[in-house]
Amino acid sequence: MDPQAPARRARQRGRLRAFLERHRSPRLMVLLMVTATGAAGLLASFLALRAGLIWPLARWPLAVVLAYGAFLLLVRLWLVHEGSRQTVARALGGEEPEPEPFPGAHRDKGSSGDGIDLPLDGDEGTAILMLLVAAVVALGAGIYVVVIAPELLTEVLLDAAVSAGLYHRLRGTPGGDWLTTAWRRTRTPFLLVLAFFTLAGLLLQLALPEAHSLREVIRHLSG
């Protein structure tokens, strides 16, 4: 490999990130993606429940996985959109791409308070607490992805451009598949959310086997 290739990629990444931060509001874009991801997870859980998958231990992890798939799909759609706007060419100096469309396929790649008594025993309290912790972890994961948005979108856009091989300026630039980059950047928050919701589903299924949805959990808490 060209010994100057890593330095060349670093310069290109810096120029592309600066362009995105000036003209694309990457954190706002990823905030919208994360919001849509959460909505997709809730919808997936609801549809799975309606389809007969009643147990949280199975339904919630499935919803998390489908929501993450929706997030990756949104990233892909964003890449298609930015490819149509020739964002990489504009950021790196106005170079025009070769005829093939940019977004094409890759070529080689229990307590009480205020008079309210919650009817919880130890196991139920633990399950509810874990569910709350899982929700907090999901919120934290979303915030983390929004914080790293400029770096995340820069990396996936640059890798998509390198993989497509449409810009002479990017020839010889090290890069990989955008999906691999997106996974590497977001796998930790995804796996944490998956683990906590799986554990919450297990504990809730053991402690409240009659509660198959959040509405039924709330109904149980209200007496």
pTM for this one? 0.82
Q: Report the distance separating Cα 64 and Cα 191, nearest Å.
A: 9
Q: Report the distance separating Cα 160 and Cα 206, nearest Å.
A: 45
Percent of the chain with pLDDT over 70: 78
- What does the radius of gyration of the chain's CA atoms come to, in whole angstroms? 22
Query: Angle at the Cα of 85 (from 80 to 88), degrees rounded to 5?
Result: 85
Decide: helix, strand or coil at residue 112: strand
Q: Report the distance separating Cα 3 and Cα 59, nearest Å.
A: 49
116 phi and psi angles, rounded to 5 deg: -105, 125
Residue 109 DSSP class: -
pLDDT along the chain (223 residues), means of 10: 72 92 96 98 94 90 97 97 89 58 43 44 78 96 98 94 68 74 96 96 85 71 63
Q: Report the distance separating Cα 174 and Cα 120, nearest Å.
A: 56
Secondary-structure percent of the chain, ordered helix, strand, coil, rounded to 5: 70, 0, 25
90-139 pLDDT, tens digit each: 888 754 444 444 444 344 444 444 443 444 456 778 888 999 999 999 99
